[in-house]
Amino acid sequence: MDVTGKRVSVIGAGKSGIAAAELLTREGAEVLLSELGRIGEKEAVFLQDMQIRFEEEGHSGSVYDADFCVVSPGIPPSAPVVKTMQARGIPLYSEIEIASCFCKARIVGITGTDGKTTTATLVHRICEEDGRQQGYRSFSVGNIGVPFASMARQMNTGDVAVVELSSYQLERCFTFRPEVAVITNITPDHLDRYEHDMQRYAEAKFRIFMNQSGRDTLVYNSDDPLLWDHFSGAADRFPFRILPFGMEPASEGGVDRRLVLLDGDGIVVRHAGGEELLLITSDFLKNSFRGRHNISNVLAAAAAARALGIGNEAVRSALREFRGVEHRQEFVLTINGADWVNDSKATNINAMRQAIEAVPGTAVLIAGGRDKGNDYGSIAELVRNKVSLLIAIGESKAKIASFFDGIVALKVAGSLEEAVLFAREAALPGQTVLFSPGCASFDMFKNFEDRGQQFKQYVHHLSSW
């Protein structure tokens, strides 16, 4: 992609917007970075040093004087600036699309409603382990927190870019082509953005494989009904290789097609010579990395590694050392016999359900935040059986309290700190205090990381009492 002399508008001055502006500037484009709100002082100094034009507190008419535009993922298609760009026929791209144009590395793209961060982290660790032996580097980028555009120019041929992808990031990808694409699952999430249409949400996820060819591989979760319906028996419909993984038998024409599977307590990998036991679940399920859903994440990572041609020894070594992902069912402390777990990354109902199921025994649950069209009916019985007290917080606290009234004991807290205090009073030895919001964080916090960090600070403060 030659952008020399091209006029480019970048809408949104978050991490991905600034990274895209820097990459395009270094490649010779004339960039204008435009932000609806304020740009931080540190970011403004960086932009000035890079000689990148920028504006804040509103989009001027100058943003439309562009050959193309890069739209940050948090900006919805309904935003007036986006609609005007479209009306004027200005091409709109995502930061992921732009970064991929300058990336020389092999790309592993990972998407899904849940499990994509854990799976992406696992794949990255496996590639790091293999790379030490084979002489290549692995980069973990994308939705996981490091913009793809910030690292693309550092990657060489033979390196591996493990790119975690949200539906938002995939919406404006047009030529992005991962050598290996992984879809962990698709369940209801972000439906407010997709007009409560699951098909539209799924179609955004499916953009991950739209440019794959016969050289490429799609890895998908055959336990997910939507994915199974879409891909089973579909070898003739797609030009790329399709490799399912799963915990439940997945028979096509009487033949189980899964590449990586759960057999009892063992993770089994199939290959031309037969089957090989990779490892048993007790080798990797630990305090901050537990639950059936994490077995699925391991299956996905092992399948991706197989698609990349990585040997089982590197996979075994990486998995045995893995201790989980921060803010995803992260063990914090034990206080008076009760374990405290930070699951701030649970921003939808399915993630909350997985966290509750992973709790040994019963839980005091802290939940709530900015609702994304949540239907709590799917977890009502689970909450009734596993939760002794539900403490509701955030914008959705009234909705949560109303729905679960009569199902579980309830408290409503005015802040996360107050919720932690309520939980300390209620938690019994042997129980788990689970912070699994099931909602977005933007009502009270910068992001889910900020939310999780504040939770951990409050818990550590309790331990000093």
Residue 233, pLDDT > 90, answer no
Residue written as token pair 């199921």? 357
Residue 189 binned pLDDT confidence (cut-offs 50, 70, 90): low
Q: Output the pLDDT for position 367.
A: 97
Strand locations in 79-194 (E): 92-93, 106-111, 138-142, 160-164, 180-183
The answer to whether domain 7-93 and domain 330-463 are alike in fold is: no
Please say whether the beta carbons of 51 and 110 come within 8 A: no
Q: Output the pLDDT for position 271.
A: 83
Q: Where are the domains of the chain?
A: 7-93, 97-321, 330-463
Residues 6+ apart with CB under 8 A from 155: 103, 104, 105, 137, 139, 161
Q: What percent of the chain has pLDDT over 90?
A: 79
Choose between 462 and 140: higher pLDDT.
140
The CA–CA distances, whole Å, from 457 to 328, 343, 460 equal 16, 14, 5
φ, ψ dihedrals at 225, nearest 5° = -60, -40
In the structure encoding, which two tokens stand for residue 73, read together?
């993922």
Please state, in angstroms and rounded to a whole number, the distance separating the CA atoms of residues 79 and 70: 14
0.85 exceeded by pTM: no
Name the pairing type of β-strands 266-271 and 274-280. Answer: antiparallel
Mean of per-residue pLDDT scores for the chain:
93
In the structure encoding, which two tokens stand for residue 90, read together?
């200005």
Q: What percent of the chain has pLDDT over 70?
A: 96
Q: Is 72 exposed, middle or buried (0-12, 13-18, 19+ CB in 10 A)?
A: buried
Q: Output the pLDDT for position 373.
A: 81
Please state, in angstroms and rounded to a whole number, the distance separating the CA atoms of residues 97 and 176: 6
The CA–CA distances, whole Å, from 367 to 98, 183, 391, 402, 427 equal 37, 27, 6, 13, 15
- Which pLDDT tens digit goes with each residue over 73-111? 989 889 999 999 999 999 999 999 999 999 999 999 999
Q: Output the pLDDT for position 325.
A: 80
Most confident of 1-10, 254-263, 315-324: 1-10
Residue 191, pLDDT > 70, answer no
In the structure encoding, which two tokens stand for residue 74, read together?
């948090």
Q: Output the pLDDT for position 35.
A: 96
Residue 126, pLDDT > 70, answer yes
Q: Output the pLDDT for position 66.
A: 98
Superfamily of domain 7-93: NAD(P)-binding Rossmann-like Domain (3.40.50.720)
- Which pLDDT tens digit goes with each residue over 408-443? 999 999 999 999 999 999 999 999 999 999 999 988
CATH topology of domain 97-321: UDP-N-acetylmuramoyl-L-alanine:D-glutamate ligase (3.40.1190)
Q: Output the pLDDT for position 192.
A: 66
Q: How many other C-beta atoms can be found within 10 angstroms of the C-beta atom of residue 357?
A: 13
CATH 3.90.190.20 is the classification of domain 330-463: yes
Provide the residue count of the chain. 465
